[in-house]
Structure 1
Amino acid sequence: MKKHLRVLTVFATASLVVTVAGCASGSDAGGGDGPEPVVMWGSWSGDQVDQLEAQAERFNESQDDYEVSYVPQELVEEKLLTSLAGGQVPDVVLWDRYQTSLYAPKGALAPIDEFMEEDAVDTSIFYEPALGEMEVDGELYGLPLLVDNRSLLFNQTLLTDAGVTAPTDWDELKTAAEALTVKDGGKLTQAGLDLSDPGLFNMYLAQAGGQLLNDDQTKTAFNSPEGLEVLNFWQSLLDAGVYEQGFGDTGDSFAESRTAMKLDGPWALSTLDKVDGLEYGVVQPPAGPNGDQGAYMGGFGLVIPEGAKNAEGAWEFMKWWTTEAENGVAFGEISGWIPANIEAANDPFFTEDEHYAAFIETMNYAQTRPNVQGFSDVEGKALVPALERFLSGEISAEQALKDAQEQGDQLLEQNR
């Protein structure tokens, strides 16, 4: 029977902790003649619980050794740290990959390198940037499961009425956005392009040929000519009146045909497909001034916490879901999520779908945010707040980048 030595060491210690009968936070492996329980945590709730339970049931029916059950948790990362202290952890966690570089150094996650080596898992089957988010200091802490990116959604009816086609670069994007903007007595009634999310700066920066951090990832690099080019482009769109701050804050203005174009992810498709009369399309994000393509991917992985009582069962479930392409496609059919397994993502279910196809094409060059401790704070506490002040007209583009750089460099220094 395969075992992970580090997990076994923690298990020996954790077994001394008195468990509470009936607690759903961890499994009671080995108790009885039936399949061993494998408890999965995640932050998914609502209809997504049914999706995960359906996938778990497929695994449970595929073999007789383990039975996976899903227990939703709010603030799953923080809950995991609390549970580690009490010795009550789940066996596997549906995990935001972006959090790996923050929580692995805290001792929250168990490396899976021995499992990978013993089962000879070929890492080339995964999108490399997604796999890289699961690696910290040379150790692999999980497998990528689901991926996403932001591509350009457009209202086909509005574009046809305005006599424009889906844009392929920034110049065409601006031209189309202006043609699609409608005002009534000076009041914006139809936005040409949604500019509400300053967090999309990273993908515009990639399209401009810039980068978020310097080569050794010790300092920010977005206060650059390329970063300024992005903000100047945004300003030109705002000056043209294609969007106003606060427009569409109530409801879904794209679904309501009040916004003609927006950068959004595949999670939006299931909602849009239910809107009567909405004809929309999806294309890759427009290229930058020099033809550079740029996009960022996010998504989830599966990890085994330190102290998991049934690490082997968790591993078998992870391996079944992530390495066997048909299982990734099956969950895509259930949920609409794109698998991190390249073969699964390129299944006809996605590539022959008029809306998913562009997302799959964008995956070919999408990158991930820097996998260094502290960058999430740089983004959330320094960069995005400065960009919000810029978009609201409080500060200039130059000041926004300067402020974000100074605070961001301090945050990176504090986390080294």
Structure 2
Amino acid sequence: MEIRRTALLAAGVALVLGAVSGTAGCESGSDDGGGGGESVSFDANVSGALRAWAFDNADDVGKARIDYAAKQLQGVSITMDQTGFDAQKFTTRLAGGDVPDVVQMDREYVPTYAAQGLILPLEKCFSANNVDPKQRWYPNVVGDVTYKDQVWAVPQFYQPPAIILNTTVMDAAGVQPEDIDTSKPDVLLAAIQKMYKASGGVPTTLGFDPQAVGQTYLWFISQGGKLVGDNGAPTLDDPSNIYPLETLKKIVDAQGGFAKYKGFTDAFDTFGDSNQYVRNQVGAQVNAQWYPNVLSPYKDKIKIGAVPFRGKDGQPVTVAYGGSFVIPAKAKNPSAACKWALALTEDGSWDAAATARAATIEKDKAINTGLFTGSPGPDKTIRDKYVKPSGNAGFDQVISTYYDVVATGKSAGASPAGQQLKQELTNAITSALLGQKTPQKALADAQTATMSAYRSIAGS
């Protein structure tokens, strides 16, 4: 879920730097990307003990995958710390010698630790287990964990964003699905004006919620922006980033301005009975693939559809978000860590997960919207096996749209300063949309701050 991580994003880089200064700081910015993995070997035949830090509060999908992976590692004793990943805890554990063999973390963290030599590159892991990353995962998913031409993590999940339409609001305003087109700002703004409503200057219905600070990478990458350059260096001040920010400003200005827009959207009962679709508070909204599951219980109260998010060139586009598994550089059993992470992301694991999820859905009498794994093979298999017509044409069209766009993904790029980049980009968006800075000034200031973090982590 993308509406998350505020203070953690801002603090993550600083916490890493402080802990690394006494551990792997000498490797930061080295020519091999912080490597340190050349002397580590991987074997497909595994044994011994495995310590995993992952799967906090595992749901039916997670538990099914854990059980499946354990069966693939017969003879390995698996101990799991089922608490959530925390940047400070991670670096503290590494500095103190309390090193787990495998750690689950958001993909944004991966290049940061890769640049510092705190995790291992995984080419030998893949080779030992006959895994081709280009065949197992979508290219953009692999791109998220590729730094200096090496893959540093086993990725998982990719829930693409698209635009969920509230056809009740659209029909009342005479707006058609083709009017919600992010590649045609003038057409989109006209549709927004037809649907937008306010009372006393305060929004009551948004024509279109762009998720301005929730889908930051999507807006910039889709509209021709460039956030990461060579060797993961940030490029927030690239001239191509001005257009996406100006487009976002036009959208929110047409709906009361950013302060009122943000106050209104922050009050949405996003996961509740009075969510923005039930209350007709949006005509359309950018949402990741998981959100139709939230809306499923209200299928008899709402009328929805979906259209792709379109890039500046008019073509559908998505940006990957998701988690991954990394192997710390000082892991005691890297071979078992590798095999376990790969087992969790292979076809059999996802089939077990999909079977468990189907049972839950049948029990709850919900709609099966699919399971988006980060791998094209399992995605297709799960869709063919479990995603059937629900009897609700709107929901079925929404589900189909997400499957249609999943192969259109792009990576925002992997940067050692990725956490700081996202935070500073969010700050730039906020200041520009509030009118506190011009887009150029906001992006330039963000670039300065992010470059400082980049140099500290990756070296000059």
TM-score, with length taken from structure 1: 0.79
Superposition map of 1:391-406 within 5 A: 391-406=433-448
**Which one of the candidate residues 128, 142, 151 is aligned to 2:153?**
142
Alpha-carbon contact 1:285-1:293 (below 8 Å) kept: yes
Is residue 86 from structure 1 mapped to residue 129 from structure 2 by the alignment? no
Is residue 303 from structure 1 mapped to residue 337 from structure 2 by the alignment? no
Deviates more, 1:171-180 or 1:118-127: 171-180
Query: 1:191-245 deviations in whole A, cap 9, x for unaligned?
Result: 1122453353432233332322456754525442x43322332232233226623
**Which one of the candidate residues 199, 202, 207 is aligned to 1:184?**
199
Alpha-carbon contact 1:156-1:279 (below 8 Å) kept: yes
Query: 1:282-329 deviations in whole A, cap 9, x for unaligned?
Result: 3210332x425543211112222233333333222222232x324224
Question: Equivalent residue for 2:243?
Answer: 229
Question: Equivalent residue for 1:258?
Answer: 281
- State the one-letter code of the partner of 2:253: D
Query: 1:157-197 deviations in whole A, cap 9, x for unaligned?
Result: 22233332222333443233222212234432111122453
Sort the Cα spacing of 1:194 and 1:333 in 2 relative to 1 into closer, same or farther, 3 A.
farther
How far residue 349 of structure 1 moved from its aligned partner, in angstroms, is 1.9
Question: Equivalent residue for 2:12?
Answer: none
Q: C-alpha separation between the residues in 2 aligned to 1:329 and 1:162? A: 43
- State the one-letter code of the partner of 2:302: L
Superposition map of 1:15-164 within 5 A: 38-42=50-54, 45-46=56-57, 48-61=58-71, 64-66=74-76, 68=78, 70-125=80-135, 126-164=137-175
Q: C-alpha separation between the residues in 1 aligned to 2:130 and 2:266? A: 49
Q: C-alpha separation between the residues in 2 aligned to 1:142 and 1:406? A: 28
Query: 1:117-161 deviations in whole A, cap 9, x for unaligned?
Result: 223212222112222333333443222221133221222322233
Sort the Cα spacing of 1:65 and 1:162 in 2 relative to 1 into closer, same or farther, 3 A.
farther
Q: Which has the higher contact order (CA 8 A, sep 6+)?
A: 2
Q: C-alpha separation between the residues in 2 aligned to 1:396 and 1:376? A: 23
Query: 1:384-404 deviations in whole A, cap 9, x for unaligned?
Result: 212211222322333323333
How far residue 370 of structure 1 moved from its aligned partner, in angstroms, is 2.3
User: SS of 2:402's equivalent?
Assistant: helix
How far residue 264 of structure 1 moved from its aligned partner, in angstroms, is 1.8
Is residue 316 from structure 1 mapped to residue 339 from structure 2 by the alignment? yes
Sort the Cα spacing of 1:71 and 1:316 in 2 relative to 1 into closer, same or farther, 3 A.
same
Q: C-alpha separation between the residues in 1 aligned to 2:166 and 2:355? A: 24
- State the one-letter code of the partner of 2:303: E
**Which one of the candidate residues 248, 265, 271 is aligned to 1:248?**
265
Sort the Cα spacing of 1:219 and 1:118 in 2 relative to 1 into closer, same or farther, 3 A.
closer
User: SS of 2:276's equivalent?
Assistant: coil
Question: Equivalent residue for 1:372?
Answer: 415
How far residue 246 of structure 1 moved from its aligned partner, in angstroms, is 0.9
- State the one-letter code of the partner of 2:408: Y
Q: C-alpha separation between the residues in 2 aligned to 1:158 and 1:304? A: 49
Sort the Cα spacing of 1:300 and 1:67 in 2 relative to 1 into closer, same or farther, 3 A.
same
Question: Equivalent residue for 1:285?
Answer: 309
Query: 1:226-272 deviations in whole A, cap 9, x for unaligned?
Result: 43322332232233226623113122253443122221212323222
- State the one-letter code of the partner of 1:233: T
Identity over the aligned pairs, expressed in percent?
Answer: 20
Is residue 341 from structure 1 mapped to residue 353 from structure 2 by the alignment? no
**Which one of the candidate residues 197, 211, 222 is aligned to 2:226?**
211
What is the aligned-residue RMSD (CA, Å)?
A: 3.2
- State the one-letter code of the partner of 2:343: W
Q: C-alpha separation between the residues in 2 aligned to 1:181 and 1:317? A: 50
Alpha-carbon contact 1:146-1:339 (below 8 Å) kept: yes
Q: C-alpha separation between the residues in 2 aligned to 1:99 and 1:183? A: 40
Alpha-carbon contact 2:166-2:305 (below 8 Å) kept: yes
Alpha-carbon contact 2:202-2:256 (below 8 Å) kept: no
Sort the Cα spacing of 1:87 and 1:411 in 2 relative to 1 into closer, same or farther, 3 A.
closer
Sort the Cα spacing of 1:156 and 1:410 in 2 relative to 1 into closer, same or farther, 3 A.
same
Alpha-carbon contact 2:327-2:334 (below 8 Å) kept: yes
Q: C-alpha separation between the residues in 1 aligned to 2:237 and 2:403? A: 27
TM-score, with length taken from structure 2: 0.72
Sort the Cα spacing of 1:69 and 1:349 in 2 relative to 1 into closer, same or farther, 3 A.
farther
Sort the Cα spacing of 1:375 and 1:305 in 2 relative to 1 into closer, same or farther, 3 A.
closer
How far residue 344 of structure 1 moved from its aligned partner, in angstroms, is 1.3
Question: Equivalent residue for 1:327?
Answer: 349
How far residue 407 of structure 1 moved from its aligned partner, in angstroms, is 3.7
How far residue 41 of structure 1 moved from its aligned partner, in angstroms, is 1.5
Alpha-carbon contact 2:66-2:344 (below 8 Å) kept: no
Q: C-alpha separation between the residues in 2 aligned to 1:124 and 1:238? A: 39
Sort the Cα spacing of 1:106 and 1:358 in 2 relative to 1 into closer, same or farther, 3 A.
same
Sort the Cα spacing of 1:104 and 1:228 in 2 relative to 1 into closer, same or farther, 3 A.
closer
Question: Equivalent residue for 2:293?
Answer: 270
Number of residue equivalences: 383
